[in-house]
Amino acid sequence: MAVVTFPRPLQKLIRELSKLPTVGEKTATRLAYHLVQNDPALVDTLARALHEAKEGISFCQRCFFFAEDDECTICQDHSRDRSVVCVLEKPMDLISIERMGEYKGIYHILHGLWAPLRGKGPESMKLQELVDRVKEGEISEVILATSATVEGDATALYIARTLEELGVSTTRLAQGMPKGGELEYADEVTLSKAFSGRNRLSA
């Protein structure tokens, strides 16, 4: 008796879906079944959205955030402070900082991190482009706002060293206790950062 499998078009859809990050074969199968069985209209709109996203989205020539023109809306906005650049790993991080609503400078998206253990060298991020921007002379401070992870810390240090000779100030986001964080549940690294970065209270 032959082994029973899904029809080939469904197998292919499952294979393609499981190439997505965080989607394993089980999830891909569930998604494919949902698309084929419950929601044939979604198949069309999703295929069209994929196509339009591929055609309609490019990256800002200056900061590498998403852009529909050559430059993104932030780089085009002349009310922003062009002397401060906030360096981020990926575009989503920019949305988080904009949501905070306090930062008025501009950005630089690396689209990657320095992660030698994963075979990602400095060329796997938009670092040379940052160096070129700093060399133009308008920038006085580079805020290294990569995540507070091992790779994020290593990348920040690597970039700080790369920019050392260029006479620009490099800063790193503070690390410590998160708002609402209980001491009992804080890990040692967070506590250590919170201790070493402690501030004097003005009484």
Residues in the interface with its own copies (CB under 8 A) total 63
Closest CA to 125 of 70, 177, 162: 162
3-state SS, residue 67: strand
Cβ proximity to its own copies, 30 vs 161, nearer residue: 30
Contact segment (CB under 8 A) with its own copies among 71-79, 133-141, 153-161, 193-201 equals 71-79
Instruction: Spell out, one character per residue from 85 to 114, where the chain touches its own copies: x when CB under 8 A holds, - when not.
Output: -----xxx-xx--x-----x------x---
Strands of the chain (E only): list them: 58-59, 66-67, 81-88, 105-109, 141-144, 169-172
Cα–Cα distance for residue pair 44/40, rounded to 1 Å = 7
Strands 141-144 and 169-172, bridge-based pairing: parallel
**Residue 1 touching its own copies (CB under 8 A):** yes
**Residue 42 touching its own copies (CB under 8 A):** yes
**Residue 119 touching its own copies (CB under 8 A):** no
Q: Give me the sheet containing 81-88, strands edge to edge.
A: 105-109, 81-88, 141-144, 169-172
**Site residues (vs its own copies, CB under 8 A):** 1-10, 12-13, 15-17, 19-23, 27, 29-37, 39-40, 42-47, 49-57, 66-68, 73-74, 77, 79-80, 90-92, 94-95, 98, 104, 111
